[in-house]
Chains A and B, each alone.
Chain A
């Protein structure tokens, strides 16, 4: 359960080569589309399309199964609990005291579980195929201030460092006989505090050097800084953009203007 995973996997697929701005936009559009669709059949079609994207991105099996484990847990929870709290409609399938399970309730539960599955997998596709630095770079190009983007990218850079610090301190404490999975809540909190404090101190030390290093490398020297790498939109990115916009606009028009159920 512990341990640091980076979902991104190196590759040279269509999805890897796509402009990260286009990918972020596409994921946002698809998210809206998934939230808009209410028909189970349409959601399943969409899910098949997203599964195709996962295959296109050539995500390794280990990471896909990690993702599926999380999604399945949430899906099961929704399928079981949704009907209990949504007793509207007929026919009634079962009655248990005050709880009434109806067929439409069950169907809505399943639909929602599939919707969550779609939502989660769309984001997994993005994370499987986009390195973190491209996500930050895209955000800056989309208008996030450079210093805010820099702060975020520094945070992501030190994420594995601090995760490793946490793990190594935890191991050291464990070697001294400290148990993290047993004991009263108070005792456990004390044990976790003994891990967090050295981690925080080492992190603050890092912050101290970091601020000196930033200044030594001319941070903020000029209002207009240049960039070694710029993001470039290519024809294929334009096509992807068009497809995504069409995929969103057509059902939206059908639903809100033509009143066709989707």
Chain B
């Protein structure tokens, strides 16, 4: 057990010499990291079985919508897009990640941008979710057509619509509940 610390260069002086970095603020790093992780985690772990085809929805969209409605379009686009694309990469469908990044990123961007109109009235939020969901479904349709052909892409459309509706409803509901809770976290930057 060495009791002697390795020699210490002057931290103190060097911190003065160099100007601080112009990084994104730590609270934004923390918030975006957490929202991204939530999106990825929910996409990867919360899958809802639905009877007609025994397929699965995942609830990832609810987190994209939640991020967008509670924290604005930037959070929606970045955390929604990157979080969902990361789930693709981690599950091994990395080749599909660019399409997910664009589709879900647009979904979050549109939901956040429209959702805040008129101070975030309920109709604006519903409209935002609907428009965002439509962007996602369209984006996936185009992407899947490129990769899988028109047939499989068409077959996925109802699944994606179901996912958008389900995720949109849940995301909307959550965004209202969490806005109340957010007051208890004065250090979390809301509405960026």
Q: Is A72 close to B, CB under 8 A?
A: no
Q: Is A193 close to B, CB under 8 A?
A: yes
- Are A222 and B170 neighbours in the complex by a CB distance under 8 Å? no
List residues of chain A with CB within 8 A of the CB of B150: 85-86
- Are B42 and A86 neighbours in the complex by a CB distance under 8 Å? no
- Are B34 and A207 neighbours in the complex by a CB distance under 8 Å? yes
B181: contacting residue among A151, A189, A195, A204, CB under 8 A: A204
Chain B, interface SS category:
helix
- Are B23 and A193 neighbours in the complex by a CB distance under 8 Å? no
List residues of chain A with CB within 8 A of the CB of B21: 146-147, 220-223, 225
| A185 CB, min distance to chain B CBs, angstroms | 7
- Are A219 and B23 neighbours in the complex by a CB distance under 8 Å? yes
CA distance A74 to B151 in the complex (A): 12
CA distance A88 to B27 in the complex (A): 57
- Are B24 and A151 neighbours in the complex by a CB distance under 8 Å? yes
A70: contacting residue among B20, B34, B93, B187, CB under 8 A: B93
B45: contacting residue among A148, A163, A205, CB under 8 A: A163
Within A138-184, the residues touching B (CB, 8 Å) are 146-148, 150-152, 154-159, 161-163, 166-167, 180-181
- Are A78 and B36 neighbours in the complex by a CB distance under 8 Å? no
Q: Is A43 close to B, CB under 8 A?
A: no
CA distance A214 to B33 in the complex (A): 12
- Are A196 and B30 neighbours in the complex by a CB distance under 8 Å? no
- Are A203 and B34 neighbours in the complex by a CB distance under 8 Å? yes
List residues of chain A with CB within 8 A of the CB of B47: 1-2
- Are A189 and B173 neighbours in the complex by a CB distance under 8 Å? yes
List residues of chain B with CB within 8 A of the CB of A214: 26, 29-30
List residues of chain B with CB within 8 A of the CB of A192: 46, 48, 59, 62, 170
List residues of chain B with CB within 8 A of the CB of A205: 185
- Are B14 and A222 neighbours in the complex by a CB distance under 8 Å? yes
Smallest CB gap from A6: residue in B: B90
CA distance A126 to B41 in the complex (A): 21
Q: Is A65 close to B, CB under 8 A?
A: no
- Are B173 and A195 neighbours in the complex by a CB distance under 8 Å? no
Which stretch from A12-20, A114-122, A237-245 is at the chain B interface?
Answer: A114-122
- Are A155 and B36 neighbours in the complex by a CB distance under 8 Å? yes
* Number of A-B pairs, beta carbon distance below 8 Å: 230
Q: Is A260 close to B, CB under 8 A?
A: no
B92: contacting residue among A2, A7, A86, CB under 8 A: A7
Q: Is B141 close to A, CB under 8 A?
A: no
- Are A211 and B30 neighbours in the complex by a CB distance under 8 Å? yes
| A149 CB, min distance to chain B CBs, angstroms | 11
- Are B30 and A207 neighbours in the complex by a CB distance under 8 Å? yes
Given A155-B86, A223-B18, verify A70-B92 contact (CB < 8 Å): yes
- Are B95 and A219 neighbours in the complex by a CB distance under 8 Å? no
- Are B37 and A166 neighbours in the complex by a CB distance under 8 Å? no
- Beyond A123-B93, A224-B18, 4 additional pairs, beta carbon < 8 A: A116-B147, A195-B46, A204-B182, A207-B188
CA distance A179 to B34 in the complex (A): 28
Q: Is A109 close to B, CB under 8 A?
A: yes
| Mask of A202-217 contacts with B, CB within 8 angstroms, 1/0 | 0111111011101100
Smallest CB gap from A209: residue in B: B30
| A134 CB, min distance to chain B CBs, angstroms | 13
CA distance A223 to B22 in the complex (A): 7
